[in-house]
Amino acid sequence: MDLLIEATETVVKKQQGYISANIHKSLDGTRVTNYAQWRSQEDFEAAFRIPEVIAHTKEALTFARADYHLYKVSFVDEVQ
């Protein structure tokens, strides 16, 4: 989780099309989910061609498994 936060704060948030990241840790401490928002799929994919992003990803993959899924926002409900 710390690596995701560091990568987001120092590298990812500076990439074109980045909107936000919400990093969640399971209550049992065994899983971490990064819910990130990008302006487009192209911007998301382009970020993973940046050397600094590649380096952080390689480091994370030494101890974690990446399971990427892309979604389209279909509904938003907010408390006003």
72 assigned to some structural domain: no
Cα–Cα distance measured from residue 70 to residue 36, given in angstroms and rounded to the nearest whole number: 10
What is the spatial distance between Cα 63 and Cα 26, in angstroms, rounded to a whole number? 17
Tens of pLDDT along 20-46? 999 999 999 999 999 999 999 999 999
In a domain, 70, yes or no: no
pLDDT computed for residue 25 by the predictor: 95
Q: What is the pLDDT of residue 68?
A: 86
40 within a domain of the structure (yes/no): yes
Structure-token pair, residue 68:
């990427």
Asked if residue 78 is part of any domain, the answer here is no
Residue 36 belongs to some domain of the structure: yes
Say if pTM beats, i.e. exceeds, 0.95: no
**Looking at residue 11, what is its pLDDT?**
93
**The total number of structural domains that make up the chain:** 1
Q: What is the pLDDT of residue 64?
A: 87
What domain range includes position 41?
2-60
Say if residue 26 is exposed, middle or buried (CB neighbours under 10 Å; 0-12, 13-18, 19+): exposed
